[in-house]
Chain A
Amino acid sequence: DGGITQSPKYLFRKEGQNVTLSCEQNLNHDAMYWYRQDPGQGLRLIYYSQIVNDFQKGDIAEGYSVSREKKESFPLTVTSAQKNPTAFYLCASSLKPGLPSYEQYFGPGTRLTVT
């Protein structure tokens, strides 16, 4: 089945450590996205990528980094510079990023807890 996988589902880290969240899609989508979700909040865009080896900052990119070396993969690194990293992280993809009618498909999410 085609879809988006995120691993792990739950992740625990100590403060000061960098951590990388995995996102893989087999939908052959061009664009991929990372969102952060906090309790009672909507989703906020961290980074997005239209094509391989290209990515753009979203609304809350500070303290995060990404790479897009393969079309299928878009890992997110939460660095020690991110002040409040504990959150639910959602990866998404869409077929044609330039067309607004194209919906985004979401992975199951990774819940990161930093203590």
Chain B
Amino acid sequence: GDSVTQMEGPVTLSEEAFLTINCTYTATGYPSLFWYVQYPGEGLQLLLKATKADDKGSNKGFEATYRKETTSFHLEKGSVQVSDSAVYFCALKEGGGADGLTFGKGTHLIIQP
């Protein structure tokens, strides 16, 4: 079945550092890919998405490119802020069914001032 693998956390960085959170996936077809962010005690918010190979999703300085050849969707940001501290989830949705998203386990990001 489908699966998503993310790098283990926590990831601790200093403010203004470059961020990469790795995400790779396994799917039988051509899924849509998503990054969600969860702040403490809250639900998930969509950060960005890509629906086909070579698409780049971007939002709030974050970017991720859908790489079919490496089955990856790594999240990047050039200069992180303390307010970026949160848990980040990579997820995929395959096919036309109405079932849910397949999530990775999440990566806890901690940004120190």
Chain A residues engaging chain B, CB cutoff 8 angstroms: 4, 6, 31, 33, 35, 40-45, 48, 50, 56, 58, 90, 92, 97-101, 103-109, 111
Contacts and interface: CB of A to CB of B under 8 A. Distances in A.
Given A100-B93, A106-B44, A56 B105 contact: no
A101 B105 contact: no
Contacts of B101: 43, 45, 104
Contacts of A92: 44, 100
Given A100-B32, A103-B46, A42 B89 contact: yes
Interface in B55-100: 89, 93-100
B45 interface: yes
Contact of A108 (B36, B43, B51, B100): B43
B51 A100 contact: yes
Interface residues of B, number: 27
22 contacts: A35-B100, A42-B4, A42-B103, A42-B104, A42-B105, A43-B44, A43-B89, A43-B101, A45-B100, A48-B99, A90-B43, A90-B44, A92-B44, A98-B98, A99-B96, A100-B31, A100-B93, A100-B95, A100-B96, A101-B51, A104-B100, A108-B43
Nearest to A3: B43
A98 B104 CA distance: 22
B98 A50 contact: yes
A67 B45 CA distance: 25
B103 A31 contact: no
B25 interface: no
A101 B52 CA distance: 9
Contacts of B94: 100
Interface string B29-51: 00110101000011111100101
A65 to B, nearest CB: 17
Given A48-B98, A106-B36, A106-B43, 14 more contacts: A31-B98, A41-B105, A45-B99, A98-B97, A100-B31, A100-B32, A100-B95, A101-B32, A101-B51, A103-B46, A104-B100, A108-B43, A109-B41, A111-B41
Which 7 interchain pairs have the tightest Cβ spacing? Answer: A97-B98, A42-B103, A45-B100, A106-B43, A106-B44, A100-B93, A50-B98
